[in-house]
Amino acid sequence: MADAGMPDAGMIDDSGRARLLAGGIALLVGAAIVVQLLLNLDRAAADGVPAWQVPFRLYGYFTIWANTLVALVTGHFALRGDGESLLARSGTRAATVVYIIVVGVIYNTLLVQYNPQTGLRLAIDTIFHTIIPTAYPLWWLMYVRRGRLGWGHVVPVIGLPLAYCAVAMVRGLLTGKYAYFFIDIGKYGLAQVLFNIAALALLYVGLMAALIGLDRWLARQTAPATTG
């Protein structure tokens, strides 16, 4: 996600605390993904499913896409601080806030009742859908310098969700199994699914616009006063 029309890639408070917290988030997400993969491998072995299919099935969920992006963004900052790479851009960091918030909200309001978990699986589920959707936006709010986002960042936010939906629908058509009910073409038909995706895209756009508005408002609040 490029920083359209922006003079730089965005700046973050490069304090030790910011990098330490970013590293903690990255490690937590990475560990959760590894544990989830191991649990799924164990279940696949019991069900006679080839092991090579397990990572592909795991990444059939946007939850994993979004959490992986959080790990990449925070891990990059923890190791390298600010820079000019894609993961360091203010637009990427802000879009990641939107993605992980949507993951948490949609799961906890619409999907959690269809996915009962206990024990270690419940702990991992909580990390993906509650802890990280809270921790990463708070980290962004506390440590990202304000005023680095522009309205040119609004439209690019839908790129990753639309790419996911395309992959998920192709996978669903080939296997007959859809990761989320609202993209189930077999159940709802193509027209309804496309409508659902369009509504979801509008949600991402609206949240990104709200985040940019918040960023600009906070920048005005923290700007040094000028004297005439």
Rounded Cα gap, residues 163 and 227, in angstroms: 49
Burial of 228 (0-12, 13-18, 19+ CB in 10 A): exposed
pLDDT of residue 145: 80
From residue 33, alpha-carbon distances to 40, 127, 137, 227 in Å are: 10, 10, 19, 52
Q: Torsions phi, psi of 144, nearest 5?
A: -85, 130
Question: Residue 14: exposed, middle, or buried by beta-carbon count in 10 A (0-12, 13-18, 19+)?
Answer: exposed
Q: To which residue do tokens 């990572």 refer?
A: 55
pLDDT of residue 64: 97
CB 89 within 8 A of CB 2: yes
Q: What's the whole-model pTM score?
A: 0.89
Share of the chain above pLDDT 70, in %: 91
Quickly tell me which residue has 């590894």 as its tokens: 34
pLDDT at 227: 43
Ranges of the chain whose pLDDT falls below 50: 1-11, 226-228
64 touches 33 (CB < 8 A): yes
Question: What's the confidence (pLDDT) of residue 223?
Answer: 66
